[in-house]
């Protein structure tokens, strides 16, 4: 099956790489297949074991294969990098997001409690911390009595801001002053205030592609334009493309996710984050860093937000408890020293202040250690859900379907066979009692029509499994 041209003795390991890549691309080696052991490969390809090892390590770095402890090397499931690297690069023109009527229908689906909820990114609802949070809230009501009904201050309760600062110190070693944190009505308002603080109507905003639809609706609703920057599932936004975009357009701000970006699930490596900060300086622009999924990597390792790596004044970091504790509390935050006064002014003008009871409850939840304990319990459940969903998709969707490979949070990104219309699928799914997120809403340029985002951020049930099976069959029919 496998043979290497011994005549060309330089870079033999490269030939091993090409050989295996070709076999993966042609479908001879399929996702999940076990590669020959180092010894067997060495024998069959007639190269040394170290050469094979070098090749396997490089293939693993390229994320074509993966090692499993005590088991060997396996072909990785088709990853989203196939999807995105296949997209034509640098086609970005600033555009208005114009998916309004589709967004209405998607949200009708999301807001309908009778549908199987595969359409909404809602990680913490996989195992809600209801009892713990309810207890904390009752403690707050008992302790604060009448004063728990009053206004919070513009930037929010200092007790919660201290806990957020401490959480960053604890998880990534960043020292942040509570005075540089503003509490917001969820992550969405954090993005709104940040964007309005640095940009005006008509300005161009750089976004990843695909990117979170709420970002695109926000940019549109403020009369701004979005320009897409190609995004690689291993690295996040491609910095060479970003440079090209910044050369070409007067980009007022970038809005990127640095950890577990939605919908691809990408985490930007630290070295890339550092380079990104340099680019911001070089091109005199700012970054609104969406970090709402930062706490949700399955491995529990929290990457350092780009802002704190180099204490950049050009970065505003947005966080939220909507993904990690309680969506309905509507509590998010902004970290920025440089823009904090502007943010305060906007917060006051746009919504006065954020919910007091929820802030005090979350401050208690963090201070007691319950939040850390909760995350520890939540992550393996999300990981299990991700594995179950990936396995069912692999089993029931057409073979040409490609999927992302989640390492955290709660969504799976699918590229369906060319020609499958995910909006059609969305409509059919609603009729069948299932809500999903069609790919088109993740691009201001109406890309990803044959893509799809599925969420596993809810308790896993037979209904979930049946829904995925139904979707697989339906995609096959639409092929």
Would you say 325 or 429 has its CB closer to a second copy? 325
- For the bound state, the minimum distance from the C-beta of residue 366 to a second copy, rounded and expressed in Å, comes to 16
x/- track of binding to a second copy for residues 216-235 (CB under 8 A): -xx-xxxx------------
Nearer to a second copy, 39 or 134 (CB): 134
Binding mask 303-342 for a second copy (x = CB under 8 A): -------------------x--xxxxxx----------x-
Residues 6+ apart with CB under 8 A from 37: 72
| Structure tokens belonging to residue 35 | 């590669």
- Name the minimum Å distance from CB 353 to a second copy: 7
67-100 burial code (b ≥16 CB/10 A, e <16) = eeeeeebbbbbbbbbebbeebeeeebebbebebe
Our finding on whether 107 is near a second copy (CB under 8 A) is: yes
Give the C-alpha separation, 256 to 261, whole Å: 8
Of the candidates 247, 239, 211, the residue with the CA atom closest to the CA atom of residue 226:
211
The Cα–Cα gap between 190 and 183 comes to: 8
Inter-CA distances, 478 with 422, 425, 454, Å: 9, 8, 18
Give the shortest CB-153-to-a second copy separation in angstroms.
Answer: 4
Closest CA to 426 of 51, 105, 201, 165: 105
Nearer Cβ to a second copy (279/357): 357
Q: How far is the CB of 292 from a second copy (least distance, A)?
A: 12
Crossing angle for the helix pair 186-198 and 213-221, to the nearest 10 degrees: 40
Instruction: Give me the sign of the Cα torsion angle 60, 66, 68, 72.
Output: negative
Number of residues forming the site for a second copy (CB under 8 A): 65
> Considering the rule CB under 8 A, would residue 345 count as an interface residue with a second copy?
yes
What is the sign, positive or negative, of the torsion defined by CA atoms of 372, 374, 375, 376?
positive
Nearest distance, CB of residue 105 and a second copy, angstroms: 12
Instruction: List the interface residues with a second copy, window 267-306 (CB under 8 A).
Output: none
Best CA proximity match to 207, nearest among 237, 182, 234: 237
* 96: contact with a second copy by CB under 8 A: no
- Residue 273 CA to residue 276 CA, distance in Å, equals 5
Per rule CB under 8 A, is residue 114 in the interface with a second copy? no
Q: Which residues contact 408 (CB under 8 A, 6 or more apart)?
A: 259, 260, 265, 267, 293, 296, 297, 298, 299, 379, 382
In angstroms, give the least distance from the CB of 18 to a second copy.
48
Q: Per DSSP, which regions of 277-432 are E strands?
A: 286-290, 315-320, 332-335, 402-403, 411-415
Q: In this structure, are residues 203 and 252 in contact, taking their beta carbons and an 8 Å threshold?
A: yes
CB of 77 vs a second copy, minimal distance in Å: 30
x-marked contacts with a second copy along 118-157 as a string, rule CB under 8 A: --x-x-xx--xxx--xx--xx--x---xx-xxxxxxx---
Q: Minimum Å distance from CB 141 to a second copy?
A: 5
What is the nearest approach in angstroms of a second copy to the Cβ of residue 352?
A: 4
What would the two tokens of residue 98 be? 């114009």
244 vs 342 by CB, closer to a second copy: 342
Site for a second copy in 181-220 (CB under 8 A): 185-189, 192, 196, 200-201, 214, 217-218, 220
Q: Is 159 in the site for a second copy (CB under 8 A)?
A: no
**57, 87, 172, 357: which one contacts a second copy (CB under 8 A)?**
357
* Beta carbon nearer to a second copy, 80 or 195: 195
254 by DSSP, 3-state: which?
A: strand
Which chain residues interact with a second copy by CB under 8 A?
100, 103-104, 107, 110-111, 120, 122, 124-125, 128-130, 133-134, 137-138, 141, 145-146, 148-154, 185-189, 192, 196, 200-201, 214, 217-218, 220-223, 322, 325-330, 341, 344-346, 348-358
């Amino acid at each position: 099956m496998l043979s290497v041209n011994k005549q060309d003795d330089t870079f033999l390991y490269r030939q091993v790489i090409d050989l295996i890549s070709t076999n993966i691309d042609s479908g001879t080696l399929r996702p999940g297949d076990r590669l020959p052991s180092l010894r067997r490969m060495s024998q069959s390809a007639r190269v040394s074991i170290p050469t094979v090892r070098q090749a396997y390590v490089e293939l693993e770095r390229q994320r074509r294969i993966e090692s499993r402890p005590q088991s060997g090397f396996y072909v990785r499931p088709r990853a989203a990098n196939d999807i995105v690297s296949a997209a034509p690069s640098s086609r970005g023109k600033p555009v208005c997001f114009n998916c309004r009527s589709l967004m209405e229908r998607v949200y009708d689906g999301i807001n309908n409690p009778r549908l199987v909820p595969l359409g909404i990114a809602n990680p913490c609802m996989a195992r809600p911390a209801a009892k713990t949070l309810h207890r904390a809230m009752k403690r707050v009501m008992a302790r604060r009595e009448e004063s728990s009904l009053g206004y919070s201050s513009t930037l929010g309760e200092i007790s919660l801001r201290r806990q957020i600062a401490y959480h960053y110190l604890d998880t990534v070693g960043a020292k942040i002053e509570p005075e540089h944190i503003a509490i917001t009505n969820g992550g969405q308002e954090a993005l709104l205030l940040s964007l309005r603080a640095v940009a005006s109507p008509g300005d161009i905003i750089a976004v990843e592609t695909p990117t979170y639809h709420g970002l695109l609706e926000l940019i549109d609703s403020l009369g701004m334009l979005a320009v897409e920057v190609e995004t690689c599932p291993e690295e996040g936004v491609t910095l060479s493309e970003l440079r090209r975009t910044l050369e070409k357009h007067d980009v007022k701000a970038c809005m990127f996710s640095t950890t577990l970006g939605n919908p691809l699930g990408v985490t930007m490596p630290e070295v890339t984050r550092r380079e990104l900060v340099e680019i911001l300086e070089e091109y005199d622009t700012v970054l609104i860093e969406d970090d709402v999924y930062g706490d949700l990597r399955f491995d529990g390792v929290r990457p350092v937000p780009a802002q704190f790596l180099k204490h950049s004044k050009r970065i505003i970091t947005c966080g939220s408890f909507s993904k990690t504790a309680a969506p309905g509390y509507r509590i998010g935050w902004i970290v920025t020293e440089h823009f904090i006064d502007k943010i305060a002014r906007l917060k006051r003008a746009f919504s006065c202040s954020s919910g007091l009871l929820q802030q005090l409850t979350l401050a208690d939840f963090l201070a007691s250690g319950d939040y850390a304990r909760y995350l520890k319990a939540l992550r393996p459940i999300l990981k299990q859900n991700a594995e179950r969903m990936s396995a069912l998709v692999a089993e029931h969707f057409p073979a040409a379907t490609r999927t992302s490979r989640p390492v955290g949070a709660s969504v799976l990104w699918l590229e369906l066979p060319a020609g499958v219309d995910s909006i059609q699928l969305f409509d059919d799914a609603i009729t069948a009692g299932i809500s999903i997120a069609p790919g088109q809403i993740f691009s201001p340029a109406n890309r990803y029509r044959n893509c799809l985002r599925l969420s596993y951020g809810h308790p896993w049930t037979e209904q979930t499994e049946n829904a995925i099976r139904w979707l697989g069959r339906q995609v096959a029919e639409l092929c």
